[in-house]
Structure 1
Amino acid sequence: MDKVAVIDIGTNTFHLLIVDVSGAEREIIHKEKIAVKLGEGGISVGKITDAAQERALQTLSHFKNKIDSEKVDRIFASATSAMRNASNGKDIIRKIDQVCGIKVKIISGIEEAQFIQKGVKKAIKIGSKPTLVMDIGGGSVEFILCNEKEIFWLESFEIGAQRLLDKFHKHDPISKEDIENLYQYLEKELSPLTAQLEEWQPHSLIGSSGTFDTLVDMAYAKKTENKPDDVAFTLSLDDFQLLFDEIIHKERAERLAIPGMIEMRVDMIVVAICLIQFILRNNDFNAIQVSTYALKEGILEAIVQEEIIV
């Protein structure tokens, strides 16, 4: 048996996954996520604030205590958009090592996209036809065009939900003008993706984790159905449209009262669903599949397959 801990230091959320690995078997020992909001107040100027740094150190000290108590054999900690673009990112990485005893690797956007695709493949059988995988982070958004066997194209765009929130969510509820400005921005920023969608014309969209998880929770709550304990779900386009129409017309307190909504998602979900709507408007998709697996599960798979040596 080999105990492996994967830490995902995201722009909004920090994740800890501790797994017992034995051959092809995986047993989850511990799974935890904490809304650290690393990018809050500083991401738009390329800096991590002192307050965010303090929250990060507290959370990672807590994670390290858990890792030590579980007698973990190997640890891999990765940091994404907020850390890789912050002028003080490398200083904070050094401080994490000194204070928490955790060595952190800043991964590129392309590496992030590759790991996300690897994680999604563990949750969903992608099939032989071109599929678009989409992961909305706080700092960056990853798109992967692939099928079960190969990746045709992938890219990471620094247009994550915290960045879009800072830039475009000027009114609450968000105004039509805010949304229009956001769509114009996305049209420009995502022109490389638009070209790829025209070429490959995928009809299947897979959303990984985060916002997509919350949308699934809300869809089940709306139907007053118990959500099964599974790693993959389907969100119909009609269900998405109902949630979109509800969310964009509510202010923060009203959004928080929607069954299935969680506090860590309530601010960024507005721009995140606008981003999803933009993608749906620009291509003919049949439905949205949702993978609860994402970056950390992909990293775990790369560790197990010895593509990452820890």
Structure 2
Amino acid sequence: MIKIKKYAAIDIGSNAMRLLITNVVEEANKPTQFNKSHLIRVPIRLGQDAFTVGEISEESANRMIKAMKAFKLLMQVYKVEKYAACATSAMREAYNGKELAEEIAKKAGVNIDIIEGKTEAAIIANSDLETFIKSNGHYLYVDVGGGSTEFTLFSNGKQIVSKSFKNGTVRLLNNMVTESVWTEIEKWIKTHTEHLPSLDLIGSGGNINKIFKMSGKTTDKPLTQNYLMQQFKYLNSLTYEERIYTLGLNTDRADVIIPAIKIYANAMKWSNAKHIYVPKIGLSDGIIKAMYYENTKIKTHTIL
């Protein structure tokens, strides 16, 4: 007989926030299944405020409170048992981030945990990566967000090292990433990967998911560095409006997709990776598993 639990994860990023509702299916003597039920994405670009002026504006804060009230109602409607809400670099760096989290707890009834980059990388590592990682292979997992990029190295089925860098799409759009940051990333990647033969990348994030969808490939087939660069040149040749009208990109995706490709392409170049796999996983997936297995320091809450 199976037992079904409903968990929810709220990922508050620098470019958007997401609510993922998952059915956790348990059956005796069988692996637990994590079946995604619903994913709702709200395009509130908190990083635009946080990275440029150091605070989250009143307009963004009000939109965020409304979104969290909606998320709370949806979790109640779907009878979610447990949830965790994690905010990353934008809330972390805004001087009023903690104050806003407290206001949301009072007005929307959603408790937000503002996490560090290391914790973010650890949570992401809890996602479904094992499905794509071979026991005798070497992989650099790259998760590109609006404010930061998390890198995690896996070798022979084990996690070796991880690092978070303040280099994300919203920062790049605002010319807030210095050459020294790029140099630091290059050095870190080369230092940890130069001795590993036939290394592949695993990419996550909304932008690489969109690029992969545009390629028409199936999940088990990777993209090449050459393909990424072709897409970079093509997208760069179009105006912002053309990317929306011709390609059907969302307004909050049409600008950040180009700097995102730059990060993935450089990671491939510096690690000598020939392929990048895109399994459609990310922070919200990791939050669900972290709650279930309780193997990451993450605050869980029940729905009242």
Asked if these proteins are the same fold (TM beyond 0.5), I'd say: yes
Pair 1:166-2:174 in alignment? yes
TM-score (norm 2): 0.87
1:248-289 deviations in whole A, cap 9, x for unaligned?
222211222343633321111121112222223323212110
Counterpart of 1:118 (choices 126, 140, 143) is: 126
Pair 1:290-2:286 in alignment? no
Partner of 1:110, secondary structure, is helix
* Residue pair 2:189, 2:270 contacting (<8 A) in 1 also: no
2:14 is matched by which residue type in structure 1? T
Counterpart of 1:94 (choices 79, 102, 126) is: 102
- In 2, the alpha carbon distance for the partners of 1:155 and 1:188 equals 11
Pair 1:70-2:84 in alignment? no
Counterpart of 1:209 (choices 190, 196, 205) is: 205
Counterpart of 1:259 (choices 234, 247, 254) is: 247
Report the counterpart of residue 278 of structure 1 in structure 2: 266
* Residue pair 2:72, 2:110 contacting (<8 A) in 1 also: yes
Counterpart of 1:219 (choices 209, 215, 218) is: 215
> Deviation of residue 8 (structure 1)?
0.7
1:12-68 deviations in whole A, cap 9, x for unaligned?
111111122232133333221121111123323332122221221121111111011
* Residue pair 2:203, 2:278 contacting (<8 A) in 1 also: yes
Q: How does 1:1-310 map to 2 (within 5 A)?
A: 1-23=4-26, 24-121=32-129, 123-147=131-155, 149-167=157-175, 186-188=182-184, 190-200=186-196, 203-220=199-216, 233-259=221-247, 261-307=249-295, 308=298, 310=300
1:97-150 deviations in whole A, cap 9, x for unaligned?
011101111111011111212214155234422210001000110001113632
* Residue pair 2:113, 2:299 contacting (<8 A) in 1 also: no
* Residue pair 1:5, 1:17 contacting (<8 A) in 2 also: yes
Paired positions, count: 290
1:207 is matched by which residue type in structure 2? G
* Residue pair 2:201, 2:275 contacting (<8 A) in 1 also: yes
> Deviation of residue 83 (structure 1)?
0.8
Closer, same or farther in 2 for the Cα pair 1:233/1:53, shift >3 Å?
farther
- Unpaired runs of at least 5, structure 2: 27-31
* Residue pair 1:214, 1:262 contacting (<8 A) in 2 also: no
TM-score (norm 1): 0.85
Report the counterpart of residue 178 of structure 1 in structure 2: none
* Residue pair 2:148, 2:168 contacting (<8 A) in 1 also: yes
* Residue pair 2:14, 2:88 contacting (<8 A) in 1 also: yes
Identity of aligned residues (%): 28
Partner of 2:271, secondary structure, is coil
* Residue pair 2:84, 2:299 contacting (<8 A) in 1 also: no
- Unpaired runs of at least 5, structure 1: 169-180, 221-226
Q: Which is further off, 298-307 or 98-107?
A: 298-307
- In 2, the alpha carbon distance for the partners of 1:18 and 1:233 equals 27
* Residue pair 1:4, 1:72 contacting (<8 A) in 2 also: yes
1:57 is matched by which residue type in structure 2? I
* Residue pair 2:51, 2:94 contacting (<8 A) in 1 also: yes
Please report the RMSD computed on the Cα atoms of aligned residues, expressed in angstroms: 2.3
Partner of 1:241, secondary structure, is helix
